[in-house]
Amino acid sequence: MEKSTATMKARLFLGIFAVMLAVTVYISYVMYNVAVRESDKYQALANSQQFKTMTVSANRGSIYDKNGQVLAQSVTVYTVFVDPLTFQSQVDDQLDKISKGKIEPQDVIDYENEIVRALVSHLDVSEEEVREKLHKNNRYQVIAKDVDKVTATAIMDPLTELGIISVGAAPTAKRYYPNNDLAANVIGHLHYDGYGIYGLESYYDDYLTGVDGKIITAIDANGREIQYRYKQSYDAQDGDSIYTNIDTTIQYYVEKALKSAVDANQPKDKGCAIVMEAKTGKILAMATEPDYDLNAPAEIFDENTAAALSGLLEAGDEKAYNEARSAAWNLQWTNKAISSLYFPGSVFKVVTGSAALEERAISLFDTYYCNGSFKVIDGVPPISCWTTHGGHGTQNFVQAMTNSCNPAFIQIGQKLGAKAFTDYFAAYGLTEKTGIDLPAETSSIYVPYSRMTTLDLAVSSFGQANKITPLQMITAYAAVVNGGYLVTPYVVNKIVDSEGNIVKEFEPTIKRQVISEETSAVMRDTLETVVTVNQGSNVYIEGYHIGGKSGTSQKLDVNPEGNTYVSSYCAFYPADDPEIIMLVMIDEPTQGLYYGSAVAAPVVSEAFKEILPYLGYYAEYSEEELENLDVNVPDLANADVDSAVATLEALGLNANVVGDGGKVVRQVPSSSDAMPKGCTVVLYTEDGIEPKYVEVPDLTGRTLEYATEKLSKLGLNLKPLGGAAQKDGAKCSGVMSHKDETVEVGTVIEAYFIINDETG
């Protein structure tokens, strides 16, 4: 064997040294990466193994109406769960103690049955489901969510007393809307991940969302918490709350009236209404009907849509069902007042008229002739007026506005000119979004001056060429009557933190003055005349001076034949100094009526009758109106018959005495009802008399005279509703109480009478 030489030793040493050097360099490189370049990564990994972090959820801020009534708030609910591994560990531990004689058989706790009994008796779960989840191979199985505190306590207290630690109730926040569907499309709702996706919940999400807190605790190798001094807490910061300008009472009145119109007219594309302070832009109410339940936003609220979806599901067409459901959700959640465009129709005439007066292009004494149509340019069919009676003849400005005459306003538009028309269209804010503090406000579609033809100007002048939102229309209308000032509409009044400190406060914003106070005053007088002339408007209310204008537009972009309509009405009060303004829009009514004065005006009338007294505005009647006021039926129980009859006659009512007794034992209608003079009260003078019942006929399309006579023959009383009820030509709209029902003789039947034309 050859002996090693010094050269060989040197080579070996160098080889070993090279390997050791390479290893050292590699280790140094790895340590550098770990300690410097990737320190954050490994620190986080170490922390995850050495520390346990618990998130403390922040409460989302509440939403209130102007009077402090809760519209949305977060409430604490509980998620009840089981820990299968802990359950099995407790069972095994108990068996081990039994085998070692540490516990007696009679002291054994049947963990499984105790858990099943507690959960099944308080929650909507089956015994089989609970047992199945108890035997899973993990640490967390949800039994029920959104459990209230009372129920969670009823479950946990007895289990805790038994020492059962494998069932838990984790608190979590749930968004709750106490008024369900009230102002749903304004308030909006949350995504299942907890952030706002519609309405105020979305627009003010950054304010409403709080900052979650954390509790960080050191843990040992077995995952158990160690010394308290290693615990670090970061408090949760609750979200800010918002106080809106919405008045829930006004909102309720508006939704009730709007729903009645939607039910009666069955529009294909819903309806909406807005109530706003005319001088400030504060939104007091905003409604879309049909709406939805904020506490169950995924549930399709519209019955017809829900039925159609159910049909698709039953047919097994899952793809069509999912697509239709998504479309239904989008439609259901959309705020029509700010996200839908429409041709405003004759409501827009207040813009054209005010602009022409302001520019001195016309005067109140100018006249306009209407023979039923107006030829704008050769080669194009003449534009018709709504009337089918040969036109309105010669009329001045106020008469043209009252008659809602299209040919007259084409002539007014021609005198104003395309340049001035488009300038005022922009000045009234109709080329831009209003800037309301709600998401998804859409932009208008309009004809600019550079592309406006003679025909465009003609149809634009009466509201048929440019598409705007209902909110843009009411904002422009407010500027016409409030002295000329274009205001920014806004929903929220102030934002406060969790301690009540004001974070942000909102004030009215005036963008510009569009017309003079003088022109605005002329428009106020004109629009009051539209409502009050001959008491012929469907929005007329006895004792109140209201201004207003109807609109009926054709959806020519949807149906070029012009057989689909949008009905609208905008009114304000008081007529001489407007404080409140309301716009109603019903999109494509399908039950025969379509004029704005017949479909939308009754909504304003019904809502104003309740809103105005609520706001402190009380009727001031003329002598003629006082003579025709309804009579409150007196309480005649136990009164002498002769005295009761005399009391009724003094009030202008008739008496129908039934029985031979000397005192009144019962009356129909009751003392809580009001009825017109000339109606009859049935007085029963003996107990045990069998009352007579009759069926209420459908009075749709019938005149007031016919309806009164028909009901009188049946022993029923008619209470006509509607501003135009007493006017010649008024007919029952079909909106009436007790229609096709069987009622007791003497009952008061309320029926709405309207003039079915575009007057007003």
Q: Are residues 507 and 373 in the same domain?
A: yes
pLDDT digits (tens, 9 = 90+) for 465-493: 999 999 999 999 999 999 999 999 999 99
pLDDT band at 217 (very low <50, low <70, confident <90, very high): low
Q: Are residues 512 and 566 in the same domain?
A: yes
User: Per the domain annotation, does 233 fall within a domain?
Assistant: no
The rounded distance, in Å, linking the Cα atoms of 603 and 583 is 9
Tokens coding 307: 């039925």
Q: Tell which wins on pLDDT, 48 or 720.
A: 720
Q: What is the CATH number of the domain that holds 388?
A: 3.40.710.10
621 three-class SS: coil
Residues 6+ away with beta carbon under 8 Å from 433: 441, 442, 443
pLDDT digits (tens, 9 = 90+) for 560-571: 888 899 999 999
User: Per the domain annotation, does 663 fall within a domain?
Assistant: yes
Q: Is residue 12 within a helix (H) or strand (E), and if so which, with residue range? A: helix 6-32
Instruction: Identify the pLDDT of residue 232.
Output: 67
Q: Which segment of 41-45, 80-84, 420-424 scores lowest on mean pLDDT? A: 41-45
Examine the pLDDT at 52 and tell me if it is beyond 60: no
Instruction: Identify the pLDDT of residue 170.
Output: 87
Neighbours of 710 (CB within 10 A): 15
Structural domain boundaries, residue 536:
338-623
User: Per the domain annotation, does 492 fall within a domain?
Assistant: yes
pLDDT band at 144 (very low <50, low <70, confident <90, very high): very high
Alpha helices in 289-396 (DSSP H): 303-314, 318-333, 336-339, 349-358
Instruction: Identify the pLDDT of residue 196.
Output: 95
pLDDT band at 19 (very low <50, low <70, confident <90, very high): confident
pLDDT band at 705 (very low <50, low <70, confident <90, very high): very high
Q: Are residues 494 and 414 in the same domain?
A: yes
Tokens coding 84: 């299968």
Q: Which segment of 151-165, 222-236, 497-511 scores lowest on mean pLDDT? A: 222-236
Q: Are residues 486 and 419 in the same domain?
A: yes
Tokens coding 226: 């160690």
425 three-class SS: helix
453 three-class SS: coil
pLDDT band at 728 (very low <50, low <70, confident <90, very high): confident
The rounded distance, in Å, linking the Cα atoms of 360 and 358 is 5
First to last CA, the chain: 126
pLDDT digits (tens, 9 = 90+) for 372-413: 999 999 889 999 998 877 899 999 999 999 999 999 999 999
User: Per the domain annotation, does 198 fall within a domain?
Assistant: yes
Q: Are residues 557 and 666 in the same domain?
A: no
Q: Last residue of a domain, which of 623, 655, 671?
A: 623
Do 199 and 189 contact (CB within 8 A), yes or no? yes
Task: Kindly provide the residue ranges of all beta strands, DSSP E only, lying in 328-483, ordered along the sequence.
Answer: 368-370, 373-374, 383-384, 393-395
Q: Are residues 574 and 446 in the same domain?
A: yes
CA nearest to 399, candidates 387, 384, 388: 387
Task: Kindly provide the residue ranges of all beta strands, DSSP E only, lying in 617-671, ordered along the sequence.
Answer: 631-632, 654-658, 666-668
pLDDT digits (tens, 9 = 90+) for 153-208: 999 999 999 989 999 998 888 899 999 999 999 999 999 888 999 999 999 999 99
pLDDT band at 76 (very low <50, low <70, confident <90, very high): confident
Contacts 24+ apart (CB under 8 A), 384-393: 386/552, 386/595, 386/757, 386/758, 387/757, 387/758, 393/369
User: Per the domain annotation, does 652 fall within a domain?
Assistant: yes
Q: Are residues 617 and 635 in the same domain?
A: no
Amino acid identity of residue 184, one-letter, is: A
User: Per the domain annotation, does 256 fall within a domain?
Assistant: no
- Per the structure, the count of domains in the chain is 4
Do 247 and 186 contact (CB within 8 A), yes or no? no
Greatest alpha-carbon pair distance for the chain in Å reads: 151
Instruction: Identify the pLDDT of residue 231.
Output: 56
Q: Which segment of 42-46, 414-418, 479-483, 607-611 scores lowest on mean pLDDT? A: 42-46
Report the mean per-residue pLDDT for the chain.
90
Q: Are residues 595 and 659 in the same domain?
A: no
Q: Which segment of 4-18, 157-171, 579-593 scores lowest on mean pLDDT? A: 4-18
Q: Last residue of a domain, which of 595, 623, 651?
A: 623
pLDDT digits (tens, 9 = 90+) for 341-366: 999 999 999 999 999 999 999 999 99
Q: Last residue of a domain, which of 209, 242, 270?
A: 209
392 three-class SS: coil
Q: Is residue 422 within a helix (H) or strand (E), and if so which, with residue range? A: helix 418-427
Q: Tell which wins on pLDDT, 524 or 625.
A: 524
CA nearest to 519, candidates 635, 313, 359: 359
Examine the pLDDT at 630 and tell me if it is beyond 70: yes
Instruction: Identify the pLDDT of residue 397.
Output: 97
Do 724 and 536 contact (CB within 8 A), yes or no? yes
Q: What is the CATH number of the domain that holds 690?
A: 3.30.10.20
Instruction: Identify the pLDDT of residue 373.
Output: 94
Q: For 587-611, what is the mean pLDDT?
A: 95
- Looking only at the bridges linking them, the beta strands covering 283-289 and 383-384 are unpaired
Instruction: Identify the pLDDT of residue 1.
Output: 47
User: Per the domain annotation, does 155 fall within a domain?
Assistant: yes
> Cis ω on the peptide bond leading into residue 669 (within 30° of 0)?
yes
Instruction: Identify the pLDDT of residue 623.
Output: 86
pLDDT digits (tens, 9 = 90+) for 251-275: 999 999 999 999 999 999 999 999 9
User: Per the domain annotation, does 444 fall within a domain?
Assistant: yes
Q: Are residues 348 and 457 in the same domain?
A: yes
Instruction: Identify the pLDDT of residue 91.
Output: 87
The rounded distance, in Å, linking the Cα atoms of 341 and 382 is 26
Q: Are residues 456 and 604 in the same domain?
A: yes
Q: Are residues 650 and 750 in the same domain?
A: yes
Q: Are residues 470 and 615 in the same domain?
A: yes
Instruction: Identify the pLDDT of residue 581.
Output: 98
Instruction: Identify the pLDDT of residue 690.
Output: 93
Q: For 36-55, what is the mean pLDDT?
A: 60
C-alpha angle 636-638-642 in degrees, rounded to nearest 5: 70
The rounded distance, in Å, linking the Cα atoms of 80 and 142 is 6
